[in-house]
Amino acid sequence: NRRVIARGLSYDYYANIEVTGLRPCGGSVGGGTVVSVLGRGFVSSAAQCRFGATVVRGDQARILSSTAVACVSPLTGVAGGVAVEVSMNGGADFTDDRMHYLYGASASVSRVTPSRGRSGVEGQVVTVVGTDFEHGSELSCRFGTTTTALPQVISSSILLCIAPSREAGAVRVDVSNNAVDWGTSGARFVYEVADGVWKLTPSRGPLGGGTAVTVSASGTITNYTGVYCVFGASEVAAVTRAGGGYTCRSPSAGSSGLVVVRI
């Protein structure tokens, strides 16, 4: 006869779980990428994620919903693909769906050409030079805090990125192979004040000329050499100001009225 030696125990059967996708589907060999593991049947607070043979758990494997788990990719020593699986019972059973995550080097940006463009202008093409650019749907460029997707890949070291419209100022240019992790960058792109927003101070003066007129604009100004101010048809040399912009002496005029000034 069989004798019961323990009572009141419970065992919970759960529906089969499945992994159907990863977002992003790759990241740096240095690890630390938050990967959304997509699927169904994710119900346990004891979730674990496995990247190849390495298991992550605790706050490195958080249930977001019944269809998503946030897993932090572990450090690995080599580039390449690994299968990502999920467990809902503390690692006793893992899925076997073999969704692959690709480890690779982080992109690095060394310079951009041109390094200057116009503020408030769309569609400016910038050549980004660096290393370890990977051709894929998640490859992205970032100007400051604005991300632009689908750059044109020339090679693993050259991209053509579209600079987004921004106000005047300098921003850092970064590249990401997975639209999540942004590599190192030593490159800056300067948005200069566009034509038409410059101003003259003062904007009027006597017919005899000789007024010191300051040419300035809000934002970043590139100080060029050999600059002239043209008042109507009269040209005078400009002097570069230490704080940016120029100073011109107004030429004399034959009659009163407005004239167009070009720099």
Distance separating alpha carbons of residues 176 and 206, to the nearest angstrom: 57
Could you tell me the CA-to-CA distances from 120 to 51, 163, 225, 232 in Å, in that order? 44, 10, 25, 28
pTM: 0.69
69 and 84 in a single domain? The answer is: yes
Q: What is the pLDDT of residues 103-138, one digit of tens each?
A: 999 999 999 999 998 888 888 999 999 999 999 899
DSSP sequence for 50-66: EETTEEE-GGGEEEEET
Per the structure, the count of domains in the chain is 3
Query: Is beta strand 124-131 parallel, antiparallel or unpaired with respect to 212-216?
Result: unpaired
What separation, in Å, do the N-terminal and C-terminal C-alpha atoms of the chain show? 105
58 and 91 in a single domain? The answer is: yes
Per residue, the 3-state secondary structure of 107-119, as one string, reads CEEEEEECCEEEC
CATH number for the domain spanning 40: value is: 2.60.40.10
pLDDT at 86: 98
178 and 208 in a single domain? The answer is: no
Question: Are 27 and 68 a contacting pair, CB within 8 Å?
Answer: no
Domain holding 87, by residue range, is 18-104
93 and 22 in a single domain? The answer is: yes
Residues in the chain with pLDDT < 50?
none
The amino acid occupying position 16 is N
Phi, then psi, of 58 in degrees rounded to 5: 65, -135
pLDDT at 220: 55
124 and 169 in a single domain? The answer is: yes
132 and 164 in a single domain? The answer is: yes
pLDDT at 44: 76
Question: Are 86 and 39 a contacting pair, CB within 8 Å?
Answer: yes
pLDDT at 145: 95
- The CB-side HSE value for 10 (13 A sphere, CA atoms) comes to 3
Q: Is 151 left (phi over 0), alpha (psi -120 to 50) or beta?
A: beta
pLDDT at 257: 85
Rg (CA), the chain: 30
Distance separating alpha carbons of residues 142 and 171, to the nearest angstrom: 9
Q: Provide the 10 A C-beta neighbour count for residue 65.
A: 10
Residue 43 lies in a domain: yes
pLDDT at 129: 97
Strand 158-163's sheet: what is its strand order? Answer: 108-113, 124-131, 158-163, 152-155
Determine if the peptide bond prior to 74 is cis (ω within 30°).
Answer: no
Q: Among 137, 168, 192, which residue terminates a domain?
A: 192
Q: Among 104, 119, 144, which residue terminates a domain?
A: 104
DSSP sequence for 111-159: EEESSEEETT-S-EEEEEEEE----STT-EEEETTEEEE-PEEEETTEE
Distance separating alpha carbons of residues 186 and 188, to the nearest angstrom: 7
pLDDT at 186: 85
Strand 261-262's sheet: what is its strand order? Answer: 199-201, 212-216, 246-249, 234-240, 228-231, 261-262
Query: Is beta strand 152-155 parallel, antiparallel or unpaired with respect to 158-163?
Result: antiparallel
36 and 67 in a single domain? The answer is: yes
